[in-house]
A and B are shown apart, each in its own frame.
Chain A
């Protein structure tokens, strides 16, 4: 039984057994969750993307392929309806506030890797009316597909375009089906979840594992000895739209 299912069952039985007190306790239970032995844990998960390494291999899309395969992300050709968890876009679109018309030779039209930033103060969580989007204590911004009502408020609130909505049934668009991860239904929102399901099993995120050039670094931002913390201290990095105050946990190493 996975964690969510367990929590649901627990909540239902608690509500049945305890009546009203059980109803109010439910949230407390969700927080009291302890990861299974062997799980990777952190106080705040984050990712650094060594963008220069990425540029050395412009044809490489291993991270995207691995993520989208493992999570049954459908391949919908219609750009207006597509679902994506991790993808590439050019500098001007990723950092719309940063272009410099006099000196953009370095970065103009350069591809950047995009995914949910697992913000420290995520507006998507703030607006969600059902707590289908919630932030875990380790910083991962989660999605509960079973609770999402599909109001798409979170999409309006996310300033990074990180969320996709299933406008139609996604299942026919899954190219290679992975039975180990649930598929989604029409009418719910989805996005990158920092591979919470792999962390539980002691594995690093699929994109990080798939990158043979070691361009993706995943780790605990609050642990000063972690590789990511050391990198962020020693190299120049930027974050998307940091001025909005959402506190993205994804960093782009450019210097």
Chain B
């Protein structure tokens, strides 16, 4: 008797979970509208681009401040930062079958 109880409980649980997952999946399909996805993607890509550029500017400014060569390193590192931003965005949009690592 003692052994039987958890078995039945497990079965019930599995039954419930399978039913729950169906409704969950339907809900999820409903939620992920294309518009929302695009909006989120644009925001994320923008932040990635901007943050890499910002890092480049900060490093360039720091090096210039240290070596007093303004604006040499700021120009170099802002270009590098933009490239790094593009690389970041590429990492997001990269198709999964290309493995450049």
- Binding between chains A and B: no
Chain A interfacial positions (CB closer than 8 Å to B): none
